[in-house]
Amino acid sequence: MPSRPVDAYKQIIDDLVERTPSLAARLVGEDAVYSKAPGREKMNGWIKSLTAEQRSLLVEMLSEERVGAIHDVLATLTWWIDCRDVGMTYRGEAMPVQLSGQGLHGDYVGRRASWKWPNDDKKA
């Protein structure tokens, strides 16, 4: 458990980075299915009909879409924080966000690119 709000924020962003690879992309790449859930036979049949190269391209597309979706949600939250006075708290304390200065989505993109968190002693 994080002890400070800034640590909770970092963990949230890092969890999103860790969870970026989608289950669907992994299943398409490894098992040649979209989902193992009932009712997905039509999609799974189509995916099984693809060549390995086509499935690889589909995995890339699914992965890019997932990154884009996470980015867009974080950009929307950033807009609400910047323009609508919305805030985030952890255990009742204000949580510093946008440590890159580029929005929550900038922190996400940066961490995906191995960006190091800045020294946060002044923000804690």
DSSP the chain: --SSHHHHHHHHHHHHHHT-S-HHHHHHHHHS-S-SSTT-HHHHHHHHHS-HHHHHHHHHHHHHHHHHHHHHHHHHHHHHHHHS----EETTEEPP--TTSSHHHHHHHHHHTTPPPPP-TTT-
Q: What is the mean pLDDT of each run of 10 residues along the chain (124 residues)?
A: 97 96 95 96 97 98 97 98 97 96 97 90 46
pLDDT at res. 124: 40
pLDDT at res. 121: 52
Report the Cα–Cα distance between both ends of the chain, in Å, rounded: 16
Angle at 19 between CA 111 and CA 5, to 5 degrees: 60
pLDDT at res. 123: 45
pLDDT at res. 119: 76
